[in-house]
Every structure is written in structure tokens, then in C-alpha cells.
Structure 1
């Protein structure tokens, strides 16, 4: 295990793209990218708290602005515009996102005011490439990490409070059908997730301070533990076999200190699918 980056407030939604690791530092309201030498830079500040990241097939960058329900898009000239307005579907915070190979963005909403209100069911919204928005599934117990298989046919949602991974078939128009449990996770609290070429899935677990690799049905293949909460993970690097993990203390320190990190672990199978 190696340390790639330190000094984060709270890293989320890591993505490997174009030779960089990109992530949302939600505690600092910044999107950051870092190279394999650990050199980092701020890509954009997002006052509404950045969460899920992704790219359209033409390379335009998408960022979820969690608290104000905006999906932002960077244009080729570097300007930022609103790709879609998610707020009419829910007033509560938006979480992770996966953009599939067709440019459909799936965004989770937690369904309640985190840390204030009682937990309530959340939803997943679909944003089509032209910015049209609709709800495609509901009833999630804290919809968090989202992944899409490389054939664009299956979507998997991490339900952090439901202790499970839930799968759907993706229909031709982007809708979801055939809801089913991909894996029950007794004692597990899945956050960010990613897929590998052996058909396995990695999930990060904040209270468990770990990342777990498992097969559909729940067979655990590997567990990597940390000394902080593991918020999200992604496979990437030159061979696609480096697992990048964002970790941070939980509960967060009250003194505003930045103890969050990005750690790396070599994995047995390369990245596939989305994100």
C-alpha cells in the first residue's frame, strides 16, 4: 500500500481519466486531479459541494453539485454550464454518479438531510446526453456508489444504509428494470464502488475502514483495511490494476484539519465499465 496524496478534507468519487486521478474533495468544495507522482491541482471550485464525476463520450466533463442539485458541464473552451437541473426531483443532497458509454448519467439522491433528518428512501435519476432529467428508480436506503457494466446493460447501486448492492437491467431508452439484490452485505456499509474484468466489484466502507472485493452473490475475494474511513475507490493507472482509495477520519475532525488521503493498492484484475 502506498500514499499518493495527503492534505484532503474529505475525498470522494475518484475517477481515472486521461492519465490523471480525479476526485471531489467535498470538504473543501473542490475538484482535484493528481498525477502518479503525487502532483495535484485544483480543477474547479464547486460551492454546492462536488460529488459524482464523469465524462460524456465527447470528453466534456460532468460534476454533480450536491447541495443545489445541479449537474455541471465543462465546455471545450473551459467554461462551465448547467448540464441538467436535478433539484425539481428532490431537495435533498445528491451523491455519486456513473456516466455510461452512451452518455447517460445516473445520479443518486440520498432522500433526507444527512446528519439532521431521519433516514428516508432516496432515488436514482437519469440525465440523458441532451440534459433531460427523469427519475428511474426509488426506494433506496441511502443511494451511494453507482457503477455500470462495460456492455451498458447493468447498473449497480450501493445502498449504504441497506447493507447491500442492488442491480438493474438498463433498457434501451436508459430506464431501469428487473430490480434485484446483487449482493447482501451483512455488517457492510458500501459507499463508492467499481468493477473489474473478472466480474468482481470493489466497494469502500467508511465505518468498516476497508475496501472489499467480491463476486455477485456476496463471495468475498479480498479485504484491504485502513486506519481511516474508506469513502470510495476506483481502478486505474497505466495497466488499470491500481486501486485508488480515498480515505479520511470519520466522524470528521472539528478543528478543520485536512487528514484525508489517497492510497493505492495493486489489484488482481483491471478496470472495466463505468465509472
Structure 2
């Protein structure tokens, strides 16, 4: 019997009937931002209110502090050179951790004003960084430092890898949050958790077409959640969207069909694929880290093209 609730026959080919949900660690306050670093076979994830980044070692199952304090880090990803890229609430910036351990600031301001609190980040095959910038890290002192927004809006930004120029590519979301590209990078999925601030705001995932010049067009509702929020998400090699969905993780086909649901004992914040074959789904929840093996693999970006 699969741990997943199957809603569409296509889901049967994506899960393993004998794979169980593993409870890997507990002890956080609000866990987020899982990113798998294949070279070391470990997962980095954020414990935002506790102001630390944690490290799960897949070779021995041990969890330790990767970085603390972490400036209330949230979303993490890995670029094509294997470097960790991190969104920080307290510093209101996006950073990169170099091989020597030094931390380099990549983006902190837009048009001369400080960002709100970068939340989630993804890397495209051209090396550009795309990140969301809602206000959660400046709303209270719990996950950052309370402060007014200098920008007055919440956007998704693209950071040019050559010039360092920052462009607002999505300006129509209330609280843009999780991000994921389709495997061919023609679609960008964005979760909007605006219902936390605006009553009756749709609890939705939005899909955008990514044009050749990296602008976004044709925003459309991809999925709607009945309660709670969509938050972090990833795509597998077939283009299916795996996403946090309140007290569950869900899988949607590229056509938007809800294929299946993994019920969870806690509220789910984010997820990512990892393991040696990229077929292990790591899930960050309210206080705990979980994982389950699936019958698909996480999509990966092609290597960066050298000029």
C-alpha cells in the first residue's frame, strides 16, 4: 500500500508501493529551504526562527548545524557549479557560499531601495538567479527584523549572471513565494501565499510562460488549494509539479491535474529531490525533516554555457 493517495492513474507510475515516509529529524521551529548538495551527499535546510541552517548527512543520518547564526535564512538552491545560494531575511539579500566558506552578497537592493525579505530562489541554465521577495521577514521579529517595506510591492526578480542587473519579472503577485521551472524552462511556477495578508485571496499556483528574452507572459492559475497554502515546489524530469500543500505534499501533472497526495503529520513548507539518483523526496515541515523514495527523479538544469 502506497503512502500516497492516488487520484489519477498516472500517479501509480510515480510512486513506490513499498516506500515509507522516513522521519529524519525534529527540533526546528519552522523548517524551510531544502537543497541537496550531491558532491557531499548532504541536505542543507533552514530553521528560520532559530536563525540557523541545518545539515543532514545522507551517509550516516546525522543532523548538525551548517551555519548559525544564518541571518534567518529561508530558501536555498545549488547553482551549476555546486555552490549554495541562499535567501536571507535579516539582511534582506540573496547570497552565495563560496568553496572556501565565504559568503558573497548577490542582491540586496532594487532601484536603490532595500529588498523586502528574499524567500525562495531557483537557478536557470543560463546562470540567472530568480527569487521571490515577499514581506514575511520584515512583518515581525520572529523570522527576521520587523521593518516597513521600502519597495511597497512584492515581486519575483531575475538577477543577470553577467551584469548583476536586477529586473522585476513578476509584479502581479500579492506575496510571491515558492518558485520552480519546468524541465525545459519554458514555464515558471510561482506560489502566492497572499491569503496571509489579504482576506479571500486565492490560495494558488500560477504558471507563466518564459519568453526567449526571459520576460514572463500569460499568467494563468495552475492549481488552487482548499485550505492552507502552496509554498515550496519542484518539478520532476517528466514536468510534474511536486509541491507543499498545507498538511500534505501534492503532485500535479503538467496539465494541472491533481495526481496524488502524500498526507503529512505536520504543515509542510517545502520539498526537493535528492539522493544519489535524485529519486528521494526530502520534505521540510513545521518542526521536522522527512523523506520518501519515489519512482521519478528531480529535474536538473543543464550545465551553464561558457561565453
* Matching of residue 241 in structure 1 with residue 279 in structure 2: yes
Relative to 1, partners in 2 of residues 1:133 and 1:45: Cα closer, same or farther, differing over 3 Å? farther
* Matching of residue 156 in structure 1 with residue 156 in structure 2: no
Instruction: Please report how far the alpha carbon of residue 170 of structure 1 lies from its aligned counterpart in structure 2 after TM superposition.
Output: 2.2
Matches within 5 A, 1:122-141: 122-130=154-162, 131-141=164-174
Secondary structure (helix, strand or coil) at the match of 1:94 reads coil
List runs of 5+ in structure 2 lacking aligned partners: 1-20, 141-145, 196-201, 302-307
Residue among 250, 253, 256 paired with 1:212: 250
Residue among 51, 60, 82 paired with 2:74: 51
Partners of 2:80 and 2:238 lie apart in 1 by: 24
Partner of 1:67: 90
TM-superposition CA deviations, 1:1-60 (whole Å, max 9, x none):
111122223210111221221211212222222122321233323553101212332233
Matches within 5 A, 1:28-43: 28-36=50-58, 37-43=60-66
Partners of 1:152 and 1:272 lie apart in 2 by: 10
Residue among 112, 121, 134 paired with 1:97: 121
Structure with the higher fraction of residues in strand conformation: 1
Partner of 1:107: 131
TM-score, length-normalised on structure 1?
0.84
Partners of 1:60 and 1:93 lie apart in 2 by: 21
Partners of 1:9 and 1:188 lie apart in 2 by: 18
* Matching of residue 84 in structure 1 with residue 104 in structure 2: no
List runs of 5+ in structure 1 lacking aligned partners: 249-259
Partner of 1:221: 259
Partners of 1:77 and 1:216 lie apart in 2 by: 39
Instruction: Please report how far the alpha carbon of residue 91 of structure 1 lies from its aligned counterpart in structure 2 after TM superposition.
Output: 4.8
Instruction: Please report how far the alpha carbon of residue 217 of structure 1 lies from its aligned counterpart in structure 2 after TM superposition.
Output: 4.4
* Matching of residue 202 in structure 1 with residue 234 in structure 2: no
Matches within 5 A, 1:263-274: 263-273=290-300
Partners of 1:109 and 1:75 lie apart in 2 by: 23
Greater radius of gyration (CA):
2
Partners of 1:73 and 1:194 lie apart in 2 by: 20
Residue among 209, 214, 221 paired with 1:181: 221
CA contact (8 A) 1:6 1:262 kept: yes
Instruction: Please report how far the alpha carbon of residue 74 of structure 1 lies from its aligned counterpart in structure 2 after TM superposition.
Output: 1.9
Instruction: Please report how far the alpha carbon of residue 223 of structure 1 lies from its aligned counterpart in structure 2 after TM superposition.
Output: 1.0
Partner of 2:208: 168
* Matching of residue 8 in structure 1 with residue 17 in structure 2: no
Partner of 1:252: none
Q: How many residues align?
A: 260
CA contact (8 A) 2:108 2:115 kept: no
Secondary structure (helix, strand or coil) at the match of 1:169 reads strand
TM-score, length-normalised on structure 2?
0.76
